[in-house]
Amino acid sequence: MRIIVLLLAVVVGLGLIVVVVGYLLPVQHVVTVAARVPATPEQVWDALTDVAAYPTWRGDVASVAMLPSDSGHVAWREQGKNDAIAYAIEEAERPRRLVTRITDPSLPFGGGWEYVITPDGAGSRVQITERGEVYNPVFRFVSRFVMGHSATASAYLKSLGARFGATVTPQVA
């Protein structure tokens, strides 16, 4: 019986530590990740802005539903394995800069991505800067210490590279 009580105390203590540390972490974070993709800036731009085609090259997206225009910009909802997230394009400067944001206020996180595409030899350097917000302290802890703030952008860049037949290695700037 003592072992069960001790194990329960350890679990509760660890949970409390996660919550306290999560509250101490800032809600906002900024991380930049970049990779070289073997495609022209125009080809990269077309892949990034053809959101309806995301399920064909992004393994984390099961389907995309186009939404009514958000202030004249393209808006969509991505259905992943566990959740759906609504996005909109805020700024678009073909083929060099794209800014998107999460538009669903009910999520425990939010923010946006800025993509910067620059020519790099026969390909392009694609840089994603995530300006994220994580409202739930437990999610903040997980985002910072378990997943890492750069995980989603890095996975996106790997999928983008694979879309053009390459294995890319994202670098955190």
Q: Cα separation of 136 and 151, whole Å?
A: 18
Q: Average of pLDDT values for 85-99?
A: 97
Per the confidence metrics, is the pTM higher than 0.95? no
Instruction: Give the pLDDT band (50/70/90) at residue 15.
Output: confident
Residues 6 or more apart whose Cβ sits within 8 Å of residue 110 = 101, 102, 104, 132, 133, 135
How do residues 110-167 score in pLDDT, each as one tens digit? 999 999 999 998 899 999 999 999 999 998 999 889 889 999 999 999 999 999 999 9
Q: Average of pLDDT values for 52-67?
A: 97
What is the DSSP secondary-structure string of 77-142?
A: EEE-SS-EEEEEEEEEETTTEEEEEE--TTSSEEEEEEEEEEEETTEEEEEEEEEEEE-SHHHHHI
Instruction: Give the pLDDT band (50/70/90) at residue 70.
Output: low
Decide if 77 contacts 84 (C-beta within 8 A): yes
Provide the residue ranges of all domains of the chain, joining segments of one domain with +.
2-172
The position carrying tokens 């302290």 is 137
Which CATH class name applies to 2-172? alpha beta
What is the C-alpha radius of gyration for the chain, rounded to an integer number of angstroms? 19
Q: Cα separation of 26 and 24, whole Å?
A: 7
The position carrying tokens 């678009």 is 92
Predicted local distance difference test score (pLDDT) of residue 8: 87
